[in-house]
Structure formats: C-alpha cells, structure tokens
Chains A and B, each alone.
Chain A
Amino acid sequence: MTIHTLEGKIPLVMNVLITSASIPVVMDIAIELSSIHKLILTDTKDVSSSIKFIRSAIGHDSDTNDLVKGMDVIIHSGLVNNSDNESSQLDYHMRCTYNLLWAAWEEKVPRVVYLSSLTQMDKYEENLAVTERWRPLPRTDTQSLCYHLGEYVCREFAREDKLEIVCLRLGDIVNNGVNHESSSSVYIDDVVTAIDKALSYDASGWDIFHIQSDVPNARYLTGQPWQGGDELPVNLGYTPRPRTKA
C-alpha cells in the first residue's frame, strides 16, 4: 500500500475541500483559509457562500470520488449539525466519514485533517497534565460520540496506511461572541493557524494534536513535539498567539 505524502511537493496554494460548511464556525474557518488556499466547500445541505460550494450526500458512489478528486487536503469536521436528528448525525459521522475517506484513498488525496474536540478528554480531572497520549473518555451524547467514532474511522484508514490523517482536537471555539472564554477555549484565529499548519507539516501518518489558546489557567498542554522510539519528533509547529495578560 502506498501513502501519497505531500513530502517534497507542497504547493503554496493548496486545493482544500472542507465538509460541513453549513455549520457557522466551519464557514468562519473556511473564510479565513480562503485568503490562503483554493477552497471548495461541501455539505449535505445547500449553503450560500462566495466560496465554491458543491452539495454532496457523501455517499458510496462516484459523486464522492468526483468531489475529492484533485484535492491536496480534505478538512473534515466532526461537529454535528444540530438541525439533524441523532440517527442522522451518527450516520453522517460514521458512514459518510468512511465514504469520504474511502474516496480520498481511491483518488490519492494526500492528507485528511479531522477536526475533533478536547471535550473527549474533559472527564479527566483538571489538575492532570492531559496530553495527546491519554485515552479519550467520550460521553454518550451524540456530539461526543460523533467526535469519538469519527476519530475511530479515521484511525483505521491511517492504520492501514491508506491515508495520512491529522486529528486536531480543538478546545471550545470562541468566535464572534459564540462561547465565553474558559480554561479550555481556543480562539478562531488559533484554530485557523493550527489547521494551516496541519495542511503541510511533516506528518507521520496518524497524528493527534490538542489545540487550545493561551488563556489563563489553560487546561490542556499544546504545541509539544512528540517522539516515539528512535523516530524523528512529530511537530505540528503550532504555537498559540500570546494573549495572557502579565
């Protein structure tokens, strides 16, 4: 099996597909990234945007292959669409994720960035130094399960070297008055910085990174390079923008 890496051929402007464009925060991320990269947005529902949009059911058919063909990276969000019922949400985040990754593998898309959440780790006590090496502790609410099961699907594609997958577990996103700052917050500009780094850093095949902002009493450690055995360290190169007041 071949990994189609970006190594040595990283284009300055990348062709990027972003899923779940109907979710406001995903659109906000897309708008920021559109100033850097050539984007295509997709969703199972119609979305009005100045960025190119292709509606897709992300089914098991050639339409999904056509959707991903020619992409350098796919950014796949684990956020649930609250207008769907729980069965549809679970179906999308398991089956459609599988379909999307399968098509990406067939069309030789080099990399997938999966947007998960640090809520997967928030059952640990706050005084613990929780990092990417710790076991996720999902809850049974649909959003938590969808993040977890989306990661599960991604991990198996990476395990078989079908795709290079970067999993970003994002803190509680603060943007345009959505969510107040907490010890788990990540501001939208830091999210965009982390995603932009994830598009082109030297990935190992299956990497997880915890992403949060420089907020007082920040709960999660972030920006640490990881090294296993005699391998070279894996480093996203993400550093949150300084915000903490002295």
Chain B
Amino acid sequence: MNVLILGANGMLGPHVVKALESAHNLRLTDINDLDTTHEYIKIDVSNLEQVVEVAKGMDAIINLSVLRHDRKLAFDVSARGCYNMMRAAVEHNISRIVNTGPHFTITGRTYEAYDHLIGPDVPPHPGTYLYAHTKSLGQEICRVFTENYGIHVMSLLFYMFMDAETHRFYPEAPVTETGKDFTPYTVSWRDAALSFSCALDIDLEDLPSKCEAFFVFPDLPHQKFTNEKIKRILGWKPQDRLEQFWRK
C-alpha cells in the first residue's frame, strides 16, 4: 500500500515508520526537515494545496500532525489540517484515513473526572482546553466527510506513551518510578506503532461504520478506560503490559 504520513517527524512518527516500512511504501511529510531513507516531502499541513498535491497516488493517509499550545497554530494544524487531509482524500479517491489524537478528543474531563470503563463510542466532550478542542474539531471534520463520501476514518487515540525499556516518556524525560502507579491510559511506543499496522491491514468492510475511534493502551488493571474495541475490531495485540509501574 502507498501510505502518506503527515507529521512524520513528530514523537510518534519514527516508531510508526519502523512498524510499517517493511510492508508498505511510505511517503513521509513534515514541516521540519527529516533525515530518512524513505521518500520525504516538506509540507505545511495547514496549506490546502500542498496537502492535496502530496496525497496524489496514495492508498492511505496517516495523520500524526499536531500542535498543542499556540492558539493560532493549534487550529491551523489540528483542525484545518484534518480538513485539508479530507479534501485530499476526496480529490484522489483515498478511502482509508488513520487520524490520531489524545483520548480527550472524545472523552474530556466531563468523562474522565467522573467515570470508569470509559470507551470511545460516546458523544465527544472535548471541552475548551485548546489541545482537546482543536483535535476534536479535526476529528469532527473527518466524521462529516465520512458521512458525505465513501471514506473510512479510523481514529487512534492515545494519552501517555512510555519506552518500555528506558522507563521514560521520551528520551529527555525523567525516568518514571516503578511500583508507584501511573496514568491509567499509557502505552509503549512500539505497541502504539503496531496499532497503525492493524489500521492498514483491516478490510474496510469489517469496520462497523465509516468513522470509528479506538482507545490504544494495553490491558491495565485500573478499569478507568477500556481497550476492548481495538482488540476486538482491529485485532491489536499489545506486547508491553507495563506491569512494573502498576504492581508494587
């Protein structure tokens, strides 16, 4: 499959590339320079013409682009970037989109602060927190396009990431203590990346609808959220249970 990756030079990008490169032809894009052996095109995801142009000849688009804190750029990248991606999908008849975001794109504080066994198939409550709000707008744009075109969008939703070997969220982060519990929605980088393989492998006809969201984290004992859906529908099998963090 010819796969376009938007935002390939972010934190998740290298892990996703590693998980997909043996099975797919990858076209990587980012607003920053990227040293890679794959095809690479520098684009700004908020530029409609650039996104439409770069999607030519692709079978699927994976959107890893995100900008969290700057008020202008967050809307440009996280919301309008999704519009541009969906316009490109329509233009080039690309029927498989894998979008990404934080879990609070759907289940914001009004769920997380109160409930347990929270799943992704609920009405979105992103609230007004900029990061959640802008990514949720992007997701909503994707959903509207799926209702008007023959495009399937799978949203892989994450929260915290962990390097299962170094016990760091990212290379410069402090080492996380074991046996002290952690965010009950944490996934190893390599398991997170494997979920993209599942999203490219599944027959689109096997999806319940043209717009589906999945919570991506391993079997954790907290029961705060549920990962049942991604295991059942995408067949995702995480390797890292991260047990050292939640067991004393």
Contact = CB atoms under 8 A, between A and B. Distances in A.
Interface of A: 59-60, 86-87, 90-91, 94-95, 98-99, 101-102, 137-140, 145, 148-149, 152-153, 156-157, 159-160, 162
B128 A157 contact: yes
Contacts of A99: 71
A145 B144 contact: yes
A101 to B, nearest CB: 8
Contacts of B133: 98, 153, 156
Interface stretch (B21-29, B76-84, B202-210): B76-84
Interface residues of B, number: 27
Interface in B91-141: 110, 125-128, 133-134, 136-137, 140-141
B147 interface: yes
B198 interface: no
26 contacts: A59-B72, A60-B71, A60-B72, A86-B48, A90-B83, A91-B75, A94-B75, A94-B80, A95-B72, A95-B79, A98-B128, A101-B128, A137-B147, A138-B144, A140-B86, A140-B149, A145-B141, A148-B140, A149-B79, A149-B141, A156-B125, A156-B126, A156-B128, A159-B110, A160-B128, A162-B128
Contact of A94 (B48, B79, B86, B128): B79
Contacts of A138: 144
B217 interface: no
Interface in B190-208: none
Given A98-B128, A139-B148, 9 more contacts: A60-B72, A86-B48, A87-B80, A90-B80, A91-B76, A137-B147, A140-B90, A140-B148, A152-B140
Contacts of B127: 156, 159-160
Interface of B: 46, 48, 71-72, 75-76, 79-80, 83, 86, 90, 110, 125-128, 133-134, 136-137, 140-141, 144-145, 147-149
Contacts of A139: 144, 148
Nearest to B74: A95
Interface centre among A60, A95, A137, A138 (most CB of B within 10 A): A95
Given A156-B128, A160-B127, A149 B80 contact: no
